[in-house]
Structures are given as structure tokens and as C-alpha cells.
Chains A and B, each alone.
Chain A
Amino acid sequence: MTRKALVVDDSATMRQMISLTLQEQGFEVLQGEDGADALELLAGSEVDLIITDLNMPVMDGMTFIRKVREQPNHRFTPILILTTEGGIDRKLEGKEAGATGWIVKPFDPSRLVRVVHRVVA
């Protein structure tokens, strides 16, 4: 069964980079430009993984995560946040909001894959 991922970032480059890496791993990828956009995409679909940036227009990452966790079918969905090195406060804030883990930017594809596999069974 093909696994599905949702990548949320206002930077198209970042979105593409992550999407490509995930596609190589066999994921089908949905892309959202911000939190609100992503919530709309989620409304009609189940996903196996969500990767989201934090600083985004319209709806930031933290709000997005909280709204995702409010939905019963996404209570157990792994959510990874994109954060920068040393952003300990952000990591903790993200966990507080309901994130599963984080990907530290800058990242290389192999590291991304490793972290993804850490949360997707």
C-alpha cells in the first residue's frame, strides 16, 4: 500500500526538496503552502505522515498542528516540524502543540529519510 505524506511549507523549493526525497522512498506526496491550505487538503484524505514548517503566512505551523490533533482521525498521525539547529524552545513548543518530532534544517536527504523512518512504521 502506498503511503501518503503531506508536506507544508511556504517555500516551494523546500516543499519540492522534501517531496522528492519522500517520493523516492515510495510516498505519495500532497503539498500545502500554509496551515490553512494544508487543513483543506487533509479534510478529504488520510495521510501517514505530515511534515510542516513553523513560520508560515495565513496559519502558522503551531496552530496547524493543534488543529490537526483536534481531528480524531489524526490523533496518532506522525507530525514532524522543520526547525533550525539549536531551536530548542521551538522543538519543545512544537511537541507541546502535538508534534511527534522534528527535522533540523539544514538537512540532507539521508538524514531526512532516517528521521522519517523513525516515526513511520
Chain B
Amino acid sequence: MPIDVSQFRGMFFEEARDYVAAFERAVLQLETDPQDTGSVQEMFRAAHSLKGCSSTLGIRDVASFTHVLENLLDPMRERRIAVAPALIELLLAASDMLADLLGRAKEGASSPPGMDALVTKLEAHVRGVDTEPGSPMARGAPQTEEAANGCYRLEIRCQPQLLTDGLDPLPLLRELHETARVEALSAAIEQVPPLDAIEPERCYLGWSGVVHMEGPRERLLEIFEFVEDTCEVRLDPLSANAEPDEGDAVEALVERSSGLDRGGGETATLRVSTARIDEMINLVGELVIAQAGLAQSAGTHASDEALLESIDRMGRRLRELQQCALSVRTIPLSTVFFRFPRLVRDLAAELGKQVQLDIVGGETELDKSVSEGLTAPLTHLIRNAMDHGIETPEARVAAGKPPSGTLTLSARQEHGSVVIELQDDGRGLDTDRILAKARKAGLVGRGEVPSPERLHALIFEPGLSTAHGVSDVSGRGVGMDAARDAIEALSGTVHVSSTAGRGTTARITLPLTLAILDGFALRVGDQTYVVPLLSVLEVVNPSSEAISTVLDRGELVSVRGEVMRLVRLRHVLGHPQAADDTAGLIVVVEVLGERFGLLVDDLLGQTNVVIKGLDESVKTSPAILGGSIQGDGSIAFILDLAGVVRVHLAGRATPDPIRIDVEGRKAS
């Protein structure tokens, strides 16, 4: 029974993304170094692999487009097409088209508009070259060029009727092995049709490889003497300067084929659906909790030292297992960062600025879903830095800076979190302008003098853009507030710091994983709640003097001179009011760019919790993100701080009677 190849579609689309990314990276590399033959090889490999898989899977658009693309890349490999800006643009357009085609193919949609036009352009570019003599695949064309180092790239493509006249490619390959040192040979299977369309009398295979032979090249060509009319055989000398890249290619090929030699038993990577990984992480989490429960009851009921020790040992192993399971979900940030060189390049051209992007720490690993959610906010931060931060070359020179601005995107792990920084060496934030705008928008009171941090944080407020005009680049309706909201949705935080004339740094801090929350447990009423540790700034004892009520802003609390809204968690979470405010504690948290004081009954300390989604029937309040089972089997609710603030603001319409009046702070 023919196998159903469609089951490999999912795997292909996943893999295809890597190919498109590699393709684009290579185009950008070629732009910086037009002599870099390795980039062309890289593009070719990517296009070639995409073509092979897509044609096997019957994804026609991708197959036919990559075929056209190959026709362009092929003469490029031989440097018969000069690397000019127009070519780079064309290749980038092709890269975008590939991504678009794949996206549509995945959804089962038809080919995108513009594909035919682009195909025509690509073909025209090839024709501009192919009129030259010595077309590469010209059948039987005499090829006299000999490689000085005896190193050749061999490409064999058979015509289907090859077998019918008694020819068999196998003896030819054997003779090749006997004649030359074959460094790497792999089958080219892009012409192999789906299994049910295969005719056994036809040959669909081809081969690619690298061969080494001292002496005349004719000796190699002679092997293929009988197949001149039924095979396309190319033997291209590998030039000395291309050798290192080819070396890599050879290594890669050898590595691949040696993997096959081992019967495919050992693979370096394995693609597994995230749903299965999540299920595993969840089960491991449950196990950790179950163990904690066991340890607790064993501690109370048993006095057997050996038993307690075993339970303790089991707990340590379980936490190791949990770490291990969680690491399966992490991917390097380079999978997010790879797209930014292109973005920066395009934006710089659009804005008439010169910008160099440096990426540091792309190997830092982060939870896959967190990584994926980062693309949008990071894109916005980069747009913003390039639009408002980095100056035009003229302005930079006038300010005594080099004409080209530098944008540094870095990532590192720090105390169980991942820190991503975007640093520019532009003009810095215009704090006077920000303050003026914020006052106008009512974000800052007339007499209020915000701290520098608060001032910088204001740029994340909705509708506060200091751009002198809405440019094409930023200000597309997505503000910095959207970037901040996206980061907070990932349980992260973002801060900016800026020095006038020197530049701005945006610092994003993210948890290593979303499955486990580094939390702070607190008690409200008789219930335990957990808030993300990253959001907690400090905890203070409220003195009655610190709390005041201001019309339109509700209750405020002053912490070390900074005034912030007071959020009574008992009220937000539906617990009866406490008799005495001062018996509780105030947890200062930062959410949505603003500080809030949460009034709670007690602190229970730092904790790690496994987040479990709650049924809609249980999850009644928008303030609650999920639940977590405690070691003793009871449930702690995890708070969604943005939700808490929303509930608080919505509930402010019926303000509580003023309980505590503080001197001088009363509303005017």
C-alpha cells in the first residue's frame, strides 16, 4: 500500500521556515560580501531542499517557484550573474514570496498575487545571462575546464528513460568510486514522484557530490560517456577560494550520510509536537506536587529516617526531571532575532539612515511560546529606536557622532530570567517633550515631578508619541503601549533608560518558562494567591498616614514619597473587608507601566508554582490567571495583575467611604 506522504506536511512546513530563514540570511550576507560564494551555495541548498520536499508532497506553487529560483541561483553559483543591488532586491522579494507561498500552502490557500510577476522578473534576470554561450546544463556541452586542485562538484540528473536501453546508474557510481575519491555523494530525489505515480521502469534519481581526482578530467567524464544523451552530467571545478565553504558542505553531507550509515538509529534532533511536550511537563509538574504532598504527610506521620530520606532524594530527582522537561520547550533566541537584520536594513533604507545592527547572545534559550510572542514587541521597539532614536547621518555628524548608528540587540540569562536589551546610540528620549505631553494628556498631575524612571516609562502610555510627525515606520496605530502589553502578556516586564544625546536602552525581562511561575505567595482572606515575582518591587508596612483618597483617582498610597494607586485585593477578589487596613501589608507591583500598591493580609513567601489552566466555570474573575495545586493539596490562585488592575479600576465607580485622611494629600 502506498504510504500517505501528506502526513509529512506538518514536518515540512516547520522545516521550510528554517530554509526560508537560511535563504534570507544568505541574501543579506551576500549583500555585505558580494564575493561570498558560500551564501549563494546556501541559498541554492535552501531552494533545492524546498523544491525537493514540496514536489514530493505535491505543493505545486512552492515547487514551481523554487524551480524558477534555482534557475537564477545556478548561474550565480558560477558567477555568471553579477551581484548587484537589483539582484539582492529580487532575491529578497523571492524570500518574502517563499514565506508567503508556504504560509498560504499551509492554509490550503491559492497562490499569492504577485507570484507570476515575480516569476517573470526572475526569469528575465536569468535570460539576461543565459543568452551567453556555455549554458551550464547544456547537454553534452564539452567542458574543458580542469580544476587545479583536482576538486570538482558533480551533479548528475537522469532522464526517466535511462533504464530502458540497459543503462543502470549503479555501475557508473561504482566506477566513479573506483576512479576518484568521492568525498560526499547524495541522492537528488526532487524528481521522484509520489509513490503511486512511480513507474518501475523509469529512473527518477540524480546525484550530487564532491569528487577529488588528480589527472585529466576527461577520465571522469568518460565514465558518463554512455549517458550523455540520457543524463545531465556536470563536473564543475571547485575554485580554491570556494574551497572552505565547500569543505563545510562536504562535512555536512558526510555527516548526513554517516547518520544514514548507522541505519538512521541516531538522529541529532527530533521534532515533537508541543502538545506532547506540554503534556509531559504537566505530568512532571503533577509529580512534583504529589511528591511534596507525600513528603509533607510522611514528615507528620512517619518517623522512619530512611523513608524520609528516600522521599527527599526522590524530590531532588523530580526537580531535576522537571528542569530537564522544561528545557525541552526552550529554543535559542536566534530563532526570533534572525529576522531583524532584514528589518533594520529595510527600515534604514526607508528612513534614509545608516544603522548597524549587532546581535549578541542569540544562543540564549527561552521558552518557545515566549520566544514566539517576542517578535511583535521587539519589532516595534526596533522600529521605534530607528525612527525616533537614531538620527540621520547629517544630524549625527553634527553631533560629533559617526554617521552610522549602532543598534545592539543582546540577550542573556540572569537569575532565572532572560534579559533582552535593545540599545541604540541615538539622541535619547526627549524628557521635556514627554513630560509636556504627559501633562497635557493628564497622565501626570500639574504639580507632580515624576522620577526619571517614571518619566521614561511614560513612553509606554497609549497615545504618547513624541515623534514630530507620524512617519511611515512607526506610528502605524501600534504604539509602545502595545509592545509593553505584549511583553507583559508573556509575564515579562520592560523598562527604558535613556541619556540625552547618548542613546536609549530598552530592557526586557522574561521568565525562563511560562509553565512554571516564579511567584510570590500571599494571603487574602482565607485564600492563598500567587503573583509573578518579576512584578513585585517591594513590600511595605502601611502606616495609616500613607493612604489617602483623591477624587477621580481613588485611594492612593505613598511609598517612600512616590504616590501610587492602592488596590485592595480583598475588594477585587470578593473577600469581605478587613476591619483594619494597617494590619495588612502593601505589595508594590509594576503592571502596565505603572506602580500599584496591593493591600494584602499576609505574605507567605517566594514559591515556584506549576500553572494549571482553570475551567471556565471556576475562572470567574478576570483577575485570576490560573490555579496551582499546593503541596498540601489545596489550591492557590495565580493572579493576572493586569486583570486585577482592570477589576480595580472598573470597581472604582462606587468608591468606598474615605477611611483614612492624610494631611495635605486631600483632593482639591
Q: What residues of chain A have their CB less than 8 Å away from a CB belonging to chain B?
A: 69, 75-79, 95, 98-102, 114, 117-121
Residue pair B171, A118 in contact (C-beta under 8 Å): yes
In-complex Cβ contact of A101 among B164, B170, B174, B226 (8 A): B226
Q: Mark B155-170, 1 if CB is under 8 A from A, else 0.
A: 0000000011111101
Instruction: Output the least CB separation between B171 and chain A (Å).
Output: 5
Residue pair A76, B226 in contact (C-beta under 8 Å): no
- Write out the residue numbers on chain A whose beta carbons fall within 8 Å of the beta carbon of B164: 75-76
Residue pair A95, B175 in contact (C-beta under 8 Å): no
Residue pair B175, A79 in contact (C-beta under 8 Å): no
Q: Could you list 5 further interchain pairs (A-B, Cβ under 8 angstroms) beyond the known A78-B168, A99-B166, A119-B226?
A: A75-B164, A100-B165, A117-B171, A118-B175, A118-B226
Instruction: Output the least CB separation between B455 and chain A (Å).
Output: 80
Residue pair A120, B163 in contact (C-beta under 8 Å): no
- Write out the residue numbers on chain A whose beta carbons fall within 8 Å of the beta carbon of B170: 121
Is B346 interfacial (CB 8 A cutoff)?
Answer: no
Residue pair B171, A99 in contact (C-beta under 8 Å): no
Is B248 interfacial (CB 8 A cutoff)?
Answer: no
Residue pair A95, B165 in contact (C-beta under 8 Å): yes
Residue pair B171, A119 in contact (C-beta under 8 Å): yes
Is B229 interfacial (CB 8 A cutoff)?
Answer: yes
- Write out the residue numbers on chain A whose beta carbons fall within 8 Å of the beta carbon of B174: 117
Q: What residues of chain B have their CB less than 8 Å away from a CB belonging to chain A?
A: 163-168, 170-172, 174-175, 201, 223, 225-226, 229
- Write out the residue numbers on chain B whose beta carbons fall within 8 Å of the beta carbon of A76: 163-164, 166, 201
Residue pair B175, A78 in contact (C-beta under 8 Å): no
Residue pair A119, B229 in contact (C-beta under 8 Å): no
> CA–CA, A69 to B164, complex, Å?
9
**Chain B residue nearest in CB terms to A74:** B166
- Write out the residue numbers on chain A whose beta carbons fall within 8 Å of the beta carbon of B229: 95
Q: List 12 interface pairs A-B (beta carbons < 8 Å), by A numbering.
A: A76-B166, A76-B201, A98-B165, A99-B165, A99-B166, A100-B167, A101-B226, A117-B171, A118-B171, A118-B175, A118-B226, A121-B168
Instruction: Output the least CB separation between B177 and chain A (Å).
Output: 12
> CA–CA, A58 to B655, complex, Å?
118
- Write out the residue numbers on chain B whose beta carbons fall within 8 Å of the beta carbon of A75: 164, 201
Residue pair A117, B175 in contact (C-beta under 8 Å): yes
Give the 8 A-B CB pairs with smallest separation, nearest first.
A101-B226, A100-B166, A78-B166, A121-B170, A121-B168, A121-B171, A100-B165, A77-B166
Residue pair B226, A79 in contact (C-beta under 8 Å): no
**Chain A residue nearest in CB terms to B225:** A101
Residue pair B171, A120 in contact (C-beta under 8 Å): yes
- Write out the residue numbers on chain A whose beta carbons fall within 8 Å of the beta carbon of B201: 75-76
Given that A117-B174, A121-B168 are contacting pairs, would A100 and B226 also be in contact in the complex, using a CB cutoff of 8 Å? yes
With a 10 A CB-CB cut-off, give which of B164, B165, B223 has the most chain A CB atoms. Answer: B165
